[in-house]
Amino acid sequence: MTDVTTLGEFIIEKQMDFPGSSGEFSRLLSAIRLASKIVSQQVNKAGLLSHIMGSAGAENVQGEQQQKLDVFANDQFIKALTKRKVVCGIASEENDDFIAINDSGSYIIAMDPLDGSSNIDVNVSIGTIFSIYKRITPEGTPVQKEDFLQKGTSQVAAGYVIYGSSTMMVYTTGHGVNGFTYDPGMGVFILSHPEMKIPQKGKIYSINEGNFYKSSTGVQEFIKYAQKIDPDTNRPYTGRYIGSLVADFHRNLIKGGLYMYPSTTSAPKGKLRLLYECNPLAFIVEQAGGKASDGKNRILDIQPTDLHQRVPYYVGSTEMVNKVEEFISNEDS
Ligand code: AHG
Ligand code: MN
Ligand code: MN
C-alpha cells in the first residue's frame, strides 16, 4: 500500500490549491466520495434488487420517467451534502427547484445524480456528474437562484463518477484532471489515472444516429465526413454510442473522440442540460486539453438563464470539435 495514493490523501494534499478554504471544500469532496460509494454499491446490486430496478412511476421536471435508482442516487447525494453542511444549496436534475441547505456555506453544487438511467436495467455503465461553484451572494444569507446561474468559467471544481466495469471518479479543480478507481475490497478510491490528457486528434465519433434526419445539414455532412474512407486523415472514424453521456465521454477522454448531442427538430435546444451535464464535462475536457462547444460558442462562456436549460453539445478532442464547428458554420453560408 505504500506506493498508492487514495482519493482522501489526494484531497488533503491538494487543499493547498485553495488557500483560505478552511477545509470546507475538502469536506465537500469527501461528501461526494461517500455518496458515490453508496450509489456504486447499489448499482452493483441493481440486478438483484427488484425494488431498486425499474421505474419509480414518477416523472421528473423535464417530463422524463424517473428510475428508482435516480431517486436513490439523488437522495444519497443530497443527504451526504446536507448532513455535512458543506454547501449552501444544491441544484439537481431531479428537482424542479434548487434546495437551500446551510446559509453559512460558501459553495453550491449542481448535479446529475444518475446519468444514463435508461441503461440501468440492461447492465450498461451509468454515472453521476457534479459541478461546484462559490456562491456570489453573501455568506450567512439564504442561497439565491443567481448563485446557480453562473457561467461555467466560474466553476471551482467539476467531476463525474462512472459506475462501469469498475467504479471511477474523475475530477478537476482547475489544475488538470485526475482519475481514481474504486477498490471495493478496501473501500477506497485509488489514484489510477494521474494528469489525464485527451488526444488532440480522435478517431471515435459518438452520436445517436437515429436522429440523423432530425439534425441540421451541417451535422449530417459531418457524419458523412466521419464515415468517408480517407486513409490520410484516418477515416472512416469509429462509431461508438452507449447512450450514457458519462460513459461515452469517459471513453473518448481516454481514447480520443467526439461526443455530439446536436439540436434536432424534436429537441431544438438539444437534449443535454447546461448546468448538470455540459458545463462540468466542458471544464474537465478543457483541463485535459480538449474542447467543448455548442457548435459555435465555447460552452463555459454561456450565461445560464434557467436551471434546467439545455444546449446543443459537442465535446472531446480539439481537432474533432473544430471540424464539426467548421461544418456547422458552413451550413449558414
Ligand atoms: P439522464 O439519464 O441523466 O436523463 O441523461 C441521459 C442523457 C445522456 O446520458 C445520454 O447521452 C443521452 O441522454 C442519450 O440520449 P438519447 O437516448 O436521445 O440518445
Ligand atoms: Mn444525464
Ligand atoms: Mn440523470
For residue 333, pLDDT over 80 is answered with no
| Ligand 1 atom 2, closest CA | 116
Tell me: do 179 and 219 sit in the same domain.
no
186 and 274 together in one domain? no
Per-residue three-class SS string for 265-311: CCCCCCCCEHHHHHHHHHHHHHHCCCEEECCCCEHHHCCCCCCCCEC
Within 10 Å of residue 118's Cβ, how many Cβ atoms?
13
Same domain as 180, residue 262: no
pLDDT tier, 1 (very low <50, low <70, confident <90, very high otherwise): low
Sign of the Cα pseudo-torsion (93, 292, 332, 233, in order): negative
pLDDT at 287: 98
| Domain shared by 28 and 155, yes or no | yes
Q: Which pLDDT belongs to residue 68? A: 85
> If DSSP codes are grouped into helix, strand and coil, which group holds residue 127?
strand
Query: Does residue 116 line the site of ligand 1, with CB under 6 A?
Result: yes
Are 35 and 179 part of one and the same domain?
Answer: yes
DSSP tag of 237: P
Give the Cα separation of 110 and 264 in Å (integer). Answer: 25
Asked whether residue 217 falls in the same domain as residue 245, the answer is: yes
Measured CA to CA in angstroms, residue 195 lies from 29, 80, 179, 253 at distances of 18, 28, 8, 12
Ligand 1 neighbourhood includes 219 CB (under 6 angstroms): no
Task: Give 44's contacts (C-beta < 8 A, 6+ positions apart).
Answer: 163, 184
- Per-residue pLDDT tens for 223-273? 999 999 999 999 999 999 999 999 999 999 999 999 999 999 999 999 999
- Of 193, 226, 259, which marks where a domain is finished? 193
Ligand nearest to the CA of 243: 1
Please indicate whether residue 128, judged by its CB atom, sits closer than 6 Å to ligand 1: no
d(CA 11, CA 27): 9
Angle at CA of residue 130, ends 129 and 132, nearest 5°: 165
**37/117 same-domain check:** yes
Label residue 14 by pLDDT band (50, 70, 90): confident
Taking the CA of 119 as reference, the closest ligand is: 1
In a domain, 142, yes or no: yes
Please give the Cα distance from 216 to 101 (Å, whole number): 42
CA distances from residue 235 to 47, 203, 232 in whole angstroms, order as listed: 39, 8, 8
CA 270 / ligand 3 centre spacing (Å)? 15
Which residue has its alpha carbon closest to ligand 1 atom 3? 115
List pLDDT tens digits, range 139-193: 999 999 999 999 999 999 999 999 999 999 999 999 999 999 999 999 999 999 9
Ordered DSSP codes for 159-190: EEEEESSSEEEEEESSS-EEEEEEETTTTEEE
Tell me what pLDDT residue 61 has. 74
In which band, very low, low, confident or very high, does the pLDDT at 124 lie, cut at 50, 70 and 90? very high
| pLDDT average, residue stretch 19-38 | 86
| The pairing of beta strand 107-115 with beta strand 89-92 | parallel
Domain boundary among 136, 162, 193: 193
Query: Looking at the whole model, is its pTM more than 0.85?
Result: yes
The H-or-E segment that residue 239 falls in is strand 238-239
Q: 126 and 105 in one domain?
A: yes
Q: How many domains does the chain have?
A: 2
Cell of 105: 456555506
- Tell whether ligand 1 has an atom less than 6 A from the beta carbon of residue 112: yes
Minimal-distance CA residue to ligand 1 atom 18: 208
Give yes or no: residues 225 and 256 share one domain: yes
| Residues 234, 291 within the same domain | yes
The answer to whether residue 82 sits within a structural domain is yes
The pLDDT value recorded for residue 56 is 72
pLDDT tens-digit series, residues 57-112? 777 777 776 668 899 999 999 999 999 888 999 999 999 999 999 999 999 999 99
Q: How far is the CA of 310 from the centre of ligand 3 (A)?
A: 13
Q: Mapping DSSP to helix (H, G, I), strand (E, B) and coil, where does residue 26 land?
A: helix
The pLDDT, as a whole number, for residue 181 is: 98
Residue 1 lies in a domain: no
**2 inside domain:** no
* Last residue in a domain, options 155, 173, 193: 193
For residue 48, being part of any structural domain is answered with yes
Q: Pseudo-torsion of CA 293, 295, 297, 299, nearest 10°?
A: -30
Residue 3 has pLDDT above 90, yes or no: no
Q: Which residues pair with 99 in a beta bridge?
A: 90
d(CA 263, CA 270): 4
Q: Is 199 domain-assigned?
A: no
In a domain, 198, yes or no: no
> In which band, very low, low, confident or very high, does the pLDDT at 48 lie, cut at 50, 70 and 90?
low
Instruction: Say which residue the cell 494534499 belongs to.
Output: 13
> Would you say the CB of residue 245 lies under 6 angstroms from ligand 1?
yes
Q: Which domain holds residue 123?
A: 7-193
Structural domain includes residue 120? yes
| Residue-averaged pLDDT of the chain | 93
Of 200, 201, 199, nearest to 233 by C-alpha is 201
> Could you give the CA distance from residue 164 to residue 170 in angstroms, rounded to a whole number?
13
The reply to whether 136 and 239 lie within a common domain is no
d(CA 244, ligand 3 centre) in Å: 9
CATH of the domain at 225: 3.40.190.80
Here the CATH number for the domain that contains residue 141 is: 3.30.540.10
Looking at 159-302, list the stretches that DSSP marks H as alpha helix, in order from N- to C-terminal side. 217-227, 245-255, 279-287
Q: Residue 257 is inside which H or E element, if any?
A: strand 257-261
pLDDT of amino acid 51: 58
Does one domain contain both 58 and 166? yes
The whole-number pLDDT of residue 189 equals 97
What would the grid cell of residue 62 be?
A: 423535464
Report CA(233)–ligand 2 centroid distance (Å). Answer: 32
